[in-house]
Amino acid sequence: MPALDDTTRGRLLFGGDYNPEQWPEEVWLDDVRLMKKAGVNSVTLGVFSWARIEPRPGAREFDWLDRLMDLIHGNGIGVVLATPTASPPPWMGTLHPETLPRDEDGRIVWWGSRQQFAHSSPVYRRYAAALTEDLAARYGSHPALTLWHINNEYCTYDWGDEAARAFRGWLRAKYGTLEVLNEAWGTAFWSQRYDAWDEIIPPRRAQYMRNPTQVLDFKRFTSDALLECYLAERDIVNRHSPHIPVTTNFMPLWSGQDAWQWAEHEDVVSVDIYPDPRDPWAGQDNAMIGDLTRSQARGPWLVMEQAAGPVNFRGVNHPKPRGLNRLLSLQSVARGADGVCFFQWRASRQGAEKFHSGMLGHAGEEGRVFAEVKELGAELARLAPAVAGTRVTAEVAILHDWDSWWADQQEGRVSARLDHPEVVRAWHRALWEANTPTDFAHPEHDLSRYRLVLVPHLYLLTDTAVDNLLAYVAGGGTLVCGFHTGVADHDDRVRPGGMDARLRDLFGISVLHEWWPLEAEERVDCGAFYGTLWSEELTAADDAEVVAAYRGGELDGLPALLRRDRAWYFSTLPEPAALRALLTRVAHEAGVRPPPHGLPLGVEAVRRGELLFLLNHGRDAATVPLPGHYRDLLTGAAIQDVVSLGRYGVAVLEQAS
Ligand code: GAL
């Protein structure tokens, strides 16, 4: 099977989305000249080229793309070729209105922007397949081609009739009979019982709260329907070019796709990352997405898109200060990326994204951003021989699951303040600050290689997942589980006792009486620290150790944190410093390898293969004690016992023999 190595070929990929159809051909020559100057070795073509290739139904205009593929190849640059199926041309909606998706209110999502396709429309799928077929036949053996990029950020929802029909088919395949569906959805509640398949619709706008299992199944169905679109195109390109790997670019921690499942069907896992430069936690955000994507890839992965400067989709769009683009790019490499690419090569002069940065901004080759891009290109080329293909290993895993996240997002839950990704982020942040390398895993994955497994919050756990956690602890692993976990089964049915009985037993909880969610400004005193967001009224079993207890308030004296041997339960979210200290303590007990000593706050240390990356996330210079002799691969400088990092500085250190 083709893999990322077949694309990178020993290099770190560097380049970006290239949209030459927006420019006259003379600009193309200038583009390749500047690409070479910047060390670009890869461009992504075709992402939004549908209307250019097929200006009217069935037409094919490939000449311009032929010329481009040859031009780019002739200049020694590889092509990531996209199937342009994310954005159908206006003729499609005009001729075939059923290809347009509908929102929850039944309103049509019109053309005039992008991604206006009804994923389950046979007409859309037929046109997409025909175009993919011709594209793959034409370029499948072109020497420029290094990777297929299917569609772009699959993210559409559709509540329309095409989706309704496909949803029913999906439900029939899942449940077989209406009786089983009625049971799973709990339709005895509010007179929702279905008597015929045609009565079932997507969860459209309704009078009051909707059936949560119907909503959950609709999210599962949507992810599956989009995956079908992906697989259909993947199979076509595979037929024409079995030697070329295939990817589709994920959005970071996006709720619409079960990325664990999708990643199984990709040769290369890639993601688009846009941390806000003003966010003091941009570095951690970038690290977390890197860790998640690496875990999905089970090895090296790609940043398919990031911004060299500002984006234009936030309220206020800030540029990246000098050095930040380099820092975040090298951070992704440190966390296993074998390429950092951008949206987009040349900033557009027209269209909705004309104020989104490019590697080559409106300031052109004299601009600061381009100067920094050039430096980064040179540095990546320098690092590639020692870095490409090497691995990051972690002894800790954080569990994350889309099913649980979806179930959590529903109306009528205990607290609308409970935001699944925010809780995951808080736990990851604690490890990031402690410089403890972390993978992500699905609750049903084999966890045996980890010394420590963390479950920040998984509201829904299948029986298989519960078995897996129990087996992990029985096999010698250490487990820390956050609040409101294991509450629901696969159908979002609350488990007897409010939490899986075997899990309660594992942690030493005899009764879970009530959940006590907290308001934004509320904190609960837990003795040595404060808890936020959540608290629970629990009774501990006799042999459980109460590690911290609530003080004052309704829960006075009841356990906040408890453990039974190597299984810990946190019924609240400790404030950041406390969470960091607690997880550091548990990691130490579990025998997790400690980070290098004496790192100043804000300096991140990551090992990749034999190399140590040091990354300064601060604007102030930092000094890092590091006993021994090293060589910095970025500068070639010899380092002894101490490393100096400037503002946003990075060192990539190889131990000197
Ligand atoms: C991504 C998308 C790109 C571009 C970029 C802007 O979501 O794939 O086409 O729109 O955002 O940040």
Domain segments of the chain: what residues? 396-589, 603-655
Task: Give CA–CA dist 602/648, Å, rounded.
Answer: 10
Ligand 1 atom at minimum distance from 48 CA? 9
- The strand pair at 246-247 and 249-250 is best described as unpaired
- Is 578 buried (19+), middle (13-18) or exposed (0-12) by CB count in 10 A? buried
Mean pLDDT over 454-464 rounds to: 98
Give the pLDDT score at 597. 87
| 3-state helix vs strand vs coil in the chain, percent to 5 | 35, 20, 45
Residue nearest to atom 9 of ligand 1 (CA): 343
- Answer yes or no: is the C-beta of 213 below 6 A from any ligand 1 atom: no
- Same CATH topology for 396-589 and 603-655? no
Using the mean position of ligand 1's atoms as its centre, give its distance from the Cα of residue 342 in Å: 9
How far is ligand 1, taken at its centre, from the CA of residue 450, in Å? Answer: 35
Q: Fold for domain 396-589?
A: Rossmann fold (3.40.50)
What is the residue with the minimal CA distance to atom 12 of ligand 1?
A: 311
pLDDT of residue 657: 73
Mean pLDDT across 6-11? 96
Catalytic residues: 153, 305
Q: How sure is the predictor about 365, in pLDDT bands with cuts at 50, 70 and 90? A: very high
CA distance 391 to 342: 23
Distance 577 CA to ligand 1 centre (A): 35
- Residue 344's pLDDT band (cuts 50, 70, 90): very high
Tell whether ligand 1 has an atom less than 6 A from the beta carbon of residue 153. Answer: yes
Atom of ligand 1 nearest to the CA of 47: 9
**Residue 385: exposure state from Cβ atoms within 10 A (0-12, 13-18, ≥19):** exposed
603-655 maps to which CATH number? Answer: 2.60.40.1180
Please tell me the distance between residue 419's alpha carbon and the centre of ligand 1 in angstroms.
24
Residue to probe by mutation, ligand 1, list 48, 150, 305, 348, most atoms within 8 Å of CB: 305
Which residue from 393, 457, 395 is spatially nearest to 421, judged by alpha carbons? 457
**C-alpha neighbours within 13 Å on the C-beta side of residue 329:** 31
- pLDDT for res 596: 87
42 phi-psi bin (left φ>0, alpha ψ -120 to 50, beta other): beta
Q: Is 343 in the pocket of ligand 1 (CB under 6 A)?
A: yes
Residue 535 — pLDDT band, cuts 50, 70, 90?
Answer: very high
| Bond into 344 cis (ω within 30) | yes
Q: What is the mean pLDDT of the chain?
A: 97
Instruction: HSE, CB side, 13 Å, CA atoms: give it for residue 118.
Output: 29
**Average pLDDT of span 116-129:** 98
**What's the average model confidence in pLDDT over 348-354?**
98
**So what's the pLDDT on residue 133?**
98
Question: How much distance in Å is there from the Cα of 343 to the middle of ligand 1?
Answer: 6
Q: Is 272 in the pocket of ligand 1 (CB under 6 A)?
A: yes
User: What was the pLDDT predicted at 173?
Assistant: 98
pLDDT (average), residues 469-487: 98
In angstroms, what is the span from residue 526 Cα to ligand 1's centroid? 44
Q: Is 152 close to ligand 1, i.e. is its CB under 6 Å away?
A: yes
Pocket lining: 515 vs ligand 1, CB cutoff 6 Å: no
Task: Name the residue of 353, 355, 357 whose CB sits within 8 Å of the most ligand 1 atoms, as the mutation to test its pocket.
Answer: 353
Centre of ligand 1 from the C-alpha of residue 13, in Å: 19
Distance (Å) from CA 121 to ligand 1 centroid: 24
Instruction: Give me the mean pLDDT over the 124-128 stretch.
Output: 98
Ligand 1 contact via 345 beta carbon (within 6 Å): no
**Cα angle 244, 382, 7; round to 5:** 0
Q: Which of 44, 80, 149, 153 to mutate to test the pocket of ligand 1 (most atoms within 8 A of CB)?
A: 153
Per-residue pLDDT of 286-312, as tens digits, reads 999 999 999 999 999 999 999 999 999
Amino acid letter, 222: T
**Which of 109, 27, 56, 1 is CA-nearest to residue 358?**
27
Nearest atom (ligand 1) to Cα of 311: 12
What is the model's pTM? 0.98
Nearest CA to ligand 1 atom 11: 343
Which residues is 481 bridged to in the sheet? 455, 569
The closest residue, in CA terms, to atom 4 on ligand 1 is: 343
Q: Give, for ligand 1, the residue of 49, 249, 272, 311 to mutate: max count of ligand atoms closer than 8 Å to Cβ.
A: 272
